[in-house]
Amino acid sequence: MASGTLSPTHTLTPSAAFTHPLPQVRTFHRTLTTSLDEKSSRLRTLVGGSYRELLGTAETILRMREDIELVEEKLGRVGKGCGRSVVGGMVGGLGKLQNEGGAGRDMQLGRAARGKCLGMCGVLASRLLKRNMPSESKAQHLVLAAKVLVLGRLLLKSVGGAGGEMEGEVEEMKRKLGGLRRRLLRGVEKIVQKSGEGDREDLLGALKAYAIATSSGAKDVLRHFLQIRAEALTLAFEDDEGEVPGVVRALELYTRTLLDVQALVPRRLSGALAGLKAKPLLKDEAIRELEGLRLDVCERWFGDEILFFTPYIRHDDLEGSFAVETLKAEDEDFEIWIKEGGKARGFDPSILLDGLRKVINERLVQLLETRVKKLHLVATDVEGTLGSWREGITDKQESIWEATMLDMEITYGATLFKQEVLARTHGRNDAISRPFKGYQAWRQLVDEIMTFIEQLKKQRWDDDLEDIEDDLILESRNTLLSKDDPNMLQDHLDTSLEKAYKDLHEKIASMLASYEGEQIGSVSIYILRIIRDIRTELPKNKSLQSFGLALVPLLHERLASSTSEELIKSYSRSFLKKKVAGRSLWEGSPELPVQPSPATFKLLNGLTLAMANAGNDLWSPTAIAVLKKHLRTELVRSWLGTLKDQEEKAASQTNGATTNGEVGPEEAQEEQSNGVEVVDPVHRKEVLLQSLFDVLLLQSSFELPAAADDELQKLGGKLEEQVDLESTSRKRLQQAAKDYWKRTGLLFGLLA
């Protein structure tokens, strides 16, 4: 056979190729095949690239063709418009227009445009001041109407004095704008009279409208506000109709006036007025959006005086000291009543005091109930989470050992890092954090109420009334205001809290009872954590300390069942084994087991892992006791069923045994042929011994705080009867099980 090395460059005939050794021929064949595949791949790549380039070129040609057609069309229209005859006609028409109109026509067009816009100002202002407008937008409409009236006033000034036909129209528009201005001021007055604590934005809008319409500064606006409120107070004193006496309504309005002035003056009011002159009037977007004015067409005829007009409003002429002095002046009447009211004959000041107390207490009770009722939002959040439950996502728990923890900011005390560690340690994922944070926000509202009630109890109401009233009146007043009213509020708060927590408890119980599905274990864990977190921040009321406790036993039962269900099923299959694994490791004389079966060890280890996966925060002593009780019951139930089957088989074998207690070969062969499994008595006793050791170990592992003679103890006694051990051997086996648990108990931390 010829020698040498073949290479892909050799040219061989089929007959010459086989003159070389077979391995060289195969190597040459593989080399040729690889080379052909590479060339085919490169060729396909080149062809594919060329094809894509060809398609791209074709698309570019089509796009260029469309662009060329569009350009040609536009150039054609431009060419037609630039024709000699067309341009000549335009030039001639423009010349005629200039010759005929001139400057006079421009003036006429400008006056007509301003007159048209002036008429629309009246129409639009009338629409904005309609009485049936929504209350929530009334103040905004007043501000916009005031700006329209200012524009109308400017236009009226620009077209005035023209004489001729427009003289009558100008006078008519002057009367109309004056009437609209009076309507605007009446609207401002109504809002100022009726606005409450929650309507301060409307009040501020009404004051801005007054400032624009009258060009008043901040000081004048405040005076006008106080004047309107003073007139409203006078009317309230004179009006005694209705459930609330007029005096009480007047005092309520007086108190609200003090609060409004403190809230608006000087910063909010001055800032709002400064914003009105931040830009010219016609640059205001609200004005330009009014289509009826047609500013896009008419403003070219207005002139610079109108185009660049900016409202001149003093916003910096009001200081806090002026507001304080004004309030003190308004407060004099109230002080006079406190000092001298009790001296007036025929007038009982307690009537006014009782009415005022009633109004204030009703308001406090309303505020209290509103805040307490918000606890239902926690149940709503929980219900929403259960409605959108997704297994493995909603109940996903983040470990504190994940790499994402390393990316967190740890400067300035590592606050976020510590919060995240606490959250993950207590199993607070997003689904649990949302309702818990909502509950914490609600608790802050309730704590504010509790603090307020405590302040009322400590408040003394006679510090500024020395020698004005006698001691009996002062003591009675202090009793009412510092004891009776706070106690009434406290009782109402306790009752409201008790009802709110009761409703929350019942809502959670109904959700737990109605929820069914494969995720019942995960849902029970979720609700258990919600109840636990809420209970950590319960108010100190004794009636609330039992919140959620009635649901905990059921939740612990479901937690125990979901944690151990699969492990019990797996462990039950080991009861059917006929031989002992690890029989050679038995010790002593007679030989007895000194360690559990692999299945028992897997059971204990699996329980530890399952408990850790569910969350270490769930396993309180009570929860572990429930788990151990559940395991003792379920394991014994399964184990007894297996022992019963084995006893029946053993009894059937005994009935078929020979007289000397042994099964003959013919009988054993006959039983095997009939499908009856023959159990070796020696192996069966070894299995029972190992089972007895496992039961004794489980008794130590699942030991309950209050030891009782339960089913697991009875199972151990039954196994002892079946193996028929001597007293010494029985004690040695029991001690071996206890010693094993002492040595290995720490491996199963939560169980130990």
The residue-averaged pLDDT of 63-80 equals 87
- What does the buried/exposed string (b/e) look like for 490-507 if buried means 16 or more CB atoms within 10 Å of the residue's CB? bebbeebbbebbeebbeb
What is the rounded distance in angstroms from the CA atom of residue 552 to the CA atom of residue 554? 6
H or E segment to which residue 44 belongs = helix 22-81
Q: 6 or 719: whose pLDDT is higher?
A: 719
Q: Which whole number is the average pLDDT over 291-298?
A: 80
Separation of CA 580 from chain center: 57
User: Structural domain boundaries of the chain?
Assistant: 14-72, 107-337, 348-547, 564-653+678-748
The pLDDT value given to residue 324: 65
Between 457 and 670, the higher pLDDT residue: 457
**pLDDT tens-digit map of 373-415:** 999 999 999 888 888 888 877 777 777 777 777 777 777 667 7
> 665 pLDDT exceeds 50?
no
pLDDT at 285 over 60: yes
The first and second tokens of residue 406, run together, are 């390393």
Q: By percentage, how much of the chain surpasses pLDDT 90?
A: 8
Query: CA torsion sign, 184 to 188 to 190 to 191?
Result: positive
Q: Is the pLDDT of residue 464 over 60?
A: no
User: Does residue 724 surpass a pLDDT of 50?
Assistant: yes
Is 203 a residue whose pLDDT tops 70? Answer: yes
Residue tagged 């209970």 (tokens): 535
Mean pLDDT throughout 33-53? 86
Distance CA 74, CA 257 (A): 69
Taking alpha carbons only, the member of 450, 474, 472, 470 closest to residue 461 is 474
Helix H or strand E encompassing 716: helix 711-723
- HEC letters along 418-476: HHHHHHHHCCCCHHHHHHHHHHHHHHHHHHHHHHHHHHHHHCCCCCCCCCCCCHHHHHH
Least confident of 308-322, 530-544, 691-705: 308-322
Token pair for 746: 């720490």
Min mean pLDDT across 95-104, 182-191, 426-435 is at: 95-104
- Does residue 667 carry a pLDDT above 60? no
What count of other Cβ atoms lies within 10 Å of the Cβ of residue 529?
21
Give the per-residue pLDDT at 507: 92
> What pLDDT score was predicted for residue 678?
52
User: Stretch 693-717: mean pLDDT, rounded?
Assistant: 80
Radius of gyration of the CA atoms of the chain, in A? 48
Is residue 639's pLDDT more than 90? no
Please state the rounded mean pLDDT for residues 294-304.
81
| β-sheet bridge partners, residue 108 | none
Give residue 651's region: left, alpha or beta (phi > 0; psi -120 to 50): alpha
Give CA–CA dist 371/365, Å, rounded: 10
* pLDDT (tens digit per residue) in 550-579: 999 999 999 998 888 889 888 888 877 778
What percentage of the chain reaches a pLDDT higher than 70?
79
Q: How confident is the model at residue 439 (pLDDT cuts 50, 70, 90)?
A: very high
Looking at every residue in the chain, the average pLDDT score rounds to: 79
Rounded CA-CA distance 315/270 in Å is 5
Per-residue pLDDT of 104-148, as tens digits, reads 666 777 788 888 888 888 888 888 888 666 555 788 888 899 988
Helices of type H across 293-319: 295-298, 304-307
pLDDT of residue 674: 41
Kind plus residue range of the DSSP H or E element containing 266 = none
Q: Residue 661 — pLDDT band, cuts 50, 70, 90?
A: very low
CA gap 309, 311 in Å, rounded: 7
Residue 662's pLDDT band (cuts 50, 70, 90): very low
- In this model, does residue 676 exceed pLDDT 50? no
494 — pLDDT class (breaks 50, 70, 90): very high
pTM recorded for the entire structure: 0.55
Task: Give pLDDT, residue 320.
Answer: 61
Is the pLDDT score of 339 beyond 80? no
Structure tokens at 357: 């107390």
pLDDT tens profile 240-264: 565 555 666 777 777 788 778 877 8
Per-residue pLDDT tens over the stretch 576-618? 777 888 788 888 888 888 888 888 899 999 998 988 888 888 8
Measured CA to CA, the distance from residue 614 to residue 617 in angstroms comes to 9
Max mean pLDDT range (197-201, 515-519, 632-636): 632-636
* pLDDT of res. 354: 73
Higher pLDDT, 103 or 501: 501
SS3 592: strand
